[in-house]
Structure 1
Amino acid sequence: MTLLSIPLEEDFVPKVKTGDNVALGQVIAERTIENDERGDLGKLLGVSPGQVLKYLIKRPGDKAEKGTILAVKKGFLGIGGKKIASPITGTIFKFDEKTGFIYIRGEKKSANVENLFSPVDGVVKLCDNEKIVIKTDKDAILADRVCGKGIIQAQLVLIGNKEVDSQDLDGEIRGKIILGKAFPREAISKSIGLGIAGLVSVNIKDEDLDDLEKKMIKTPVFVVSGENFEKLAKHNGKKIYMDCEKKIIIIYEG
């Protein structure tokens, strides 16, 4: 049995409760991403920010359909005038007189919903506003050594079956968990600098791991056995779950 603790980021609302059976890939939480638009009316009207207010015909609290005129600047003798229309349907919730920016919040029906999926089949043992804990029969890969903090879920990307060259790393690895047979210090530092979600390898020098711990680097870095490396390599491109405290990795099978 394995207990997976899945943290809920800001604004995520659980869609399950304690005691529920969940299946791999089931939505367990979701959050609504507001469809907000911001417009620089000063730039669009060709005036300074402090002058925008006198051209506004809509104010905070007003509703606006897509195409509704928000501001009008009349031209000289009817020539050179400008009309600024709303790009979306929604409600004006802010106008900043200092910057000349107007802010519109799109209708709920046009907002985007981000889902959080269960990585395994199991039973919800705990569910609150901070985390969802799932008990599962799924086997976990145990790391030999771990540094970093937290729990992450991200796509696994195989960098190579030999020592990783820092020159081969680029921005494509941002937000990914990267897997490589061996990582020298330069490659580790560059990977973290590029914004990886995590790193898994067979060969990392103890002194390099010690250095990461001294610097209190939070990015998860896991050292695994050669056998577990090969197991993970077969799941290149899939999403995996890493728990620094429990030193475990679980592979999404879906």
Structure 2
Amino acid sequence: MRANQAVARAELPGKVYPLNLANQLGVAPDEINEYLIKKTGDPVQKDEILAENKPLIKWFKTKVLSPVTGVVESVSTITGQVLLREPPRVLELLGYVDGLIVEVIPQQGVVVETECSLVQGIFGIGGETWGEIVIAVTAPDEILLPRHFTGAMKGKVVVGGSFISSDGLARAKDVGVAGLVIGGIHDKDLRALLGYDLGVAITGTEQVGFTLILTEGFGTIPMADKTFTLLSAHVGQLASISGATQIRAGVIRPEVIIPKRITAAHSPATVLQREGIRIGDQVRIIRDPLFGKIGEVASLPSDLQKIPTESEVRVMEVCFADGSRVMIPRTNIELIEGC
């Protein structure tokens, strides 16, 4: 199954248009059936004759034309009204990712399984989309500037470095990129892009012209080396991305999914799950005052330690690139997996 393939389809009823036929023809409501050209259930085209009277003098003839294309849903001899309904609107659910359908959920959709590379962001806006990966910068700490965008990036998922300004976001929209993956932005630039202040609720329904994913957070924050390396290794491949984010119960993270090509003869391999964090693992701090900083696990003390809130929690020692070390509660970090 391909990302742009429909996996489910529903028909939403079309709009209903009431038409007071009795008034327009100048007849009693219980007489309108005598003048109808179209009966209940008949299809009708816009400007096609619905009904007409039969005067003795043809100059006084009145024709009532259909204002829409659709069907005659009902005729009331009590009110003298005819209800016309537009054709149903077809709603399709697309597969979102390339993969194999392993389960069909009746009246809902399907479960798609795929062997892939996965990047989860900190925050995002915009819905599900897909496109080929393009790297617009040369390093994860490079700022993504308006001049980096070219016409060839239309419909692509563009990967930047540490930051993009409001001018860069405007340029991305003008070019028509499908998605943008970046280390960070300023909150004022996000507000300018949306046109309003974003609340705490779930994101993902915004209509800004593309899907935006922040891998690190707000501000100028270099993209994690592993994240940048992973995305760079898949240049030219199709990626499915979603900016949906929810930070309350039932956490949802924005994501970049890069599927491998799967055939029926080659089902996804079973992936062994990691068993916790190990010394030497790369982690990101996800709480102030060190939010967004990346370092390596230096030690994992087994005893509980008291933190400034006077709670006793499990901690880890994290070593940063400048050689500094700090004790961090284990709940305040996330593991950076990948190549």
State the TM-score, normalized to the length of structure 1.
0.50
Pair 1:104 & 2:47 matched? no
Query: What is the distance in 2 between the residues matched to 1:33 and 1:228?
Result: 44
- Structure 2 residue identity aligned to 1:103: L
- Once the two structures are TM-superposed, the CA of residue 137 in structure 1 deviates from its matched residue by 1.3
Query: Taking structure 1 as reference, are residues 90 and 185 closer, same or farther at Cα in structure 2, changes over 3 Å only?
Result: same
Residue 189 of structure 1 corresponds to 191
Give the Å deviation of 1:248.
2.9
Cα deviation for residue 191 of structure 1 reads: 3.0
* CA distance, structure 2, for counterparts of residue 91 and residue 85 of structure 1: 12
Q: Which residue of 1 aligns with 2:201?
A: none
* Structure 1 residues 73-152: aligned runs within 5 Å: 77-79=57-59, 81-86=61-66, 88=69, 90-93=71-74, 102-104=83-85, 106=87, 112=90, 114-117=92-95, 119-124=97-102, 127-130=105-108, 132-143=110-121, 145-146=122-123, 152=127
Q: Which residue in the other structure is 1:216 paired with?
A: none
Greater share of helix: 1
Q: Following the alignment from structure 1 to structure 2, what is the Cα–Cα distance between the partners of residues 102 and 115?
A: 30
Deviation at 1:62, TM superposition (A): 0.7
Unaligned runs of 5+ in 2: 132-154, 196-205, 246-251, 262-339
Q: Decide whether the 8 Å contact of 1:241 with 1:252 is kept in 2.
A: no
Distance 1:231 1:167, change over 3 A: closer
Please give the alpha-carbon distance, in whole angstroms, between the structure 2 residues aligned to 1:177 and 1:163: 18
Q: Is the 8 A contact 2:185 2:217 kept in 1?
A: yes
Summarize the Cα distance change of 1:130–1:123 in structure 2 as closer, same or farther, 3 Å threshold.
closer
- 1:16 aligns with none
SS at match of 1:63: coil
- The one of 134, 153, 176 equivalent to 2:128 is 153
CA shift digits 1:92-135 (9 cap, x unpaired):
2477x99x7732254x8xx7463523512135257354453333
Among residues 20, 23, 29, which one is paired with 2:8 in the alignment?
Answer: 29
The residue matched to 1:186 in structure 2 has which SS?
helix
Q: 1:159 to 1:122 in 2, by over 3 A?
A: closer
Specify the structure having the higher radius of gyration (Cα). Answer: 2
Q: Structure 2 CA distance, aligned partners of 1:142 and 1:192?
A: 22
TM-aligned CA deviation for residue 40 of structure 1: 6.2
The root-mean-square deviation of aligned C-alpha atoms, in Å, is 5.5
Amino acid in the other structure paired with 1:179: L
Please state whether the residue corresponding to 2:92 is helix, strand or coil. strand
**Counterpart of 1:116 in structure 2: which amino acid?**
L
CA spacing shift, 1:171–1:235, aligned 2, 3 Å: same
Name the one with the larger strand percent.
1
Whether the 8 Å contact between 1:173 and 1:195 is mirrored in structure 2 is no
Letter in 1 for 2:102: V
AA matched with 1:146: F
Number of the residue aligned with 2:180: 179
Aligned mate of 2:218, from 205, 222, 238: 205
Q: Matches of 1:184 and 1:248 in 2, distance apart?
A: 20
Consecutive unaligned residues in structure 1, runs of 5 or more: 1-21, 207-222
For residues 172 and 101 of structure 1, the distance between their equivalents in structure 2, rounded to whole angstroms, comes to: 46
1:29–1:115: 8 Å Cα contact kept in structure 2? yes
Q: Tell me how far apart the structure 2 counterparts of residues 248 and 38 of structure 1 sit (CA, whole Å).
A: 40
How many Å separate the matches in 2 of 1:93 and 1:159? Answer: 52
- Aligned residues with identical type, % of pairs: 11
Residue 219 of structure 1 corresponds to which residue in structure 2? Answer: none
Q: Distance in 1 between matches of 2:98 and 2:190?
A: 30
Secondary structure, aligned partner of 2:191: helix
- Determine the C-alpha separation between the residues in 1 that align with 2:60 and 2:86: 30
